[in-house]
Amino acid sequence: MDYLQHKLAATMERGANLFYKGFLKLLFFEGFAKTENQRSAEARQVLGTVKYLNGGLFLQHKIELDNPGIVIPDQAFENILTLFRRYSWNLNDTPGADDDEINPDVLGYIFEKYINQKAFGAYYTPPEITEYLCERTIHQVILEKVRNTPFPSTKKREYASMNDLLMDLDSDLCRVLIHDILPHLSVLDPACGSGAFLVSAMKTLLNIYGPVVGKIKFSSSANLKKWLRGVEQDHPSIAYFIRKTIITDNLFGVDIMEEATEIAPPIVSRPSCIGR
């Protein structure tokens, strides 16, 4: 929980102003930007176990490439970490009741307020609007695909709403959803900004994947049981598997602003600038 604070204290014991050069550069440019087998021996020793985050957010900036001798005083990081500790950092998509809470929605709002809105046409879209749009589109696409999919039984698969579909889950429907429909569903935001729309898309898909996987746990289908065992062997938790699957397979975003695509990677599968 206090990983950065502990590392700052450790580097200060070794000498002055070593946190950026001796730790943060290794954390950003090797720990987050490279897989474990690509990291240097120094990085593995200093960082410990750090997850590879992919994306371009932790590649070296042109300023850093042009000025390899940059020195940043430890006091600057002490001040930043002290400021950060005043807030409650929450990765949960549902905002809490605390006034000091920082979550992905808040970060997106700050980003889109920071840029020149008039020049770039970028405005923060409230969650209630993005959630409504996602539900109206994603739900209808899935319902239509289910309606047009042949099933072994003669049972009608015409549902008026996603709630009706989820209430009628059986082995055949779970199999079609988890193998044929959901993995091939692509949501593209052509002007993703900080990813507000795609965060709502992720929430919408979580509310579908969750009940389907939950139903599979109690399914009598040998094939679905085998699939679930494989998932549980390869992932620390089902919730982690579902989120990783959605981010990897379903969400895509592009934007003309490079700054936007640097913020969106933790949420978006393969974001990039418009020229990709």
Task: Reply yes or no on whether the pLDDT at 65 is more than 70.
Answer: yes
Which whole number is the average pLDDT over 103-108?
64
**CA neighbours closer than 13 Å in the CB half-sphere of residue 132:** 5
* Residue 186 confidence (pLDDT): 93
Place of tokens 């592009």: 254
Count CB atoms within 10 A of the CB of residue 47: 18
Query: What average pLDDT score do residues 64-85 get?
Result: 89
Any bridge partners for residue 188, and if so which?
A: 252
Give the C-alpha separation, 262 to 264, whole Å: 6
Tokens of 240: 């982690």
Task: Write down the mean pLDDT value for the chain.
Answer: 82
The beta strands (E) that lie in the chain are given as: 88-89, 101-102, 187-189, 251-255, 272-273
Mean pLDDT of all residues in 247-276: 63
Which of the pair, 120 or 73, is modelled with greater confidence? 73
Position 271 confidence tier, pLDDT thresholds 50, 70, 90: very low
Pick the closest to residue 205 from 272, 252, 156, 148 (CA basis).
Answer: 252
Residue 151 near residue 172 (C-beta atoms within 8 A)? yes
pLDDT digits (tens, 9 = 90+) for 169-208: 999 999 999 999 999 999 998 887 777 788 889 989 999 9
| Six-digit token string for 245 | 């699957």
**Structural tokens at position 183:** 């993995």
In this model, does residue 121 exceed pLDDT 60?
no
Mean pLDDT of 255-276: 54
Burial class (CB in 10 A: 0-12, 13-18, 19+), 43: buried
| Secondary structure element (H or E) that encloses residue 206, with its range | helix 196-217
Q: Is the pLDDT of residue 274 over 80?
A: no
Provide the token pair at 179: 């193998």
SS (H, E, C) 7-31: HHHHHHHHCCCCHHHHHHHHHHHHH
Report the range of poorest mean pLDDT among 7-16, 24-33, 98-107, 118-127. 118-127
Look up the pTM and report it: 0.64
271: Cα separation from own chain's centroid: 11
Check: CB of residue 165 under 8 Å from CB of residue 146: yes
Q: Which residues contact 206 (CB under 8 A, 6 or more apart)?
A: 93, 242, 243, 246
Considering only CA atoms, which of 119, 168, 115 is closest in space to residue 143?
Answer: 168
What does the buried/exposed string (b/e) look like for 86-98 if buried means 16 or more CB atoms within 10 Å of the residue's CB? eeeebeebeeeee
Q: Which residue pairs from 243-247 have beta carbons closer than 8 angstroms and sit at least 24 positions apart in sequence?
A: 243/202, 243/206, 245/183, 245/209, 246/202, 246/205, 246/206, 246/209, 247/202
pLDDT tier for residue 270 given thresholds of 50, 70 and 90: very low
* Mean pLDDT value across residues 96-125: 61
Q: What's the pLDDT at 260?
A: 67
Least confident of 24-38, 61-75, 254-268: 254-268
Percent of the chain at pLDDT above 70?
79
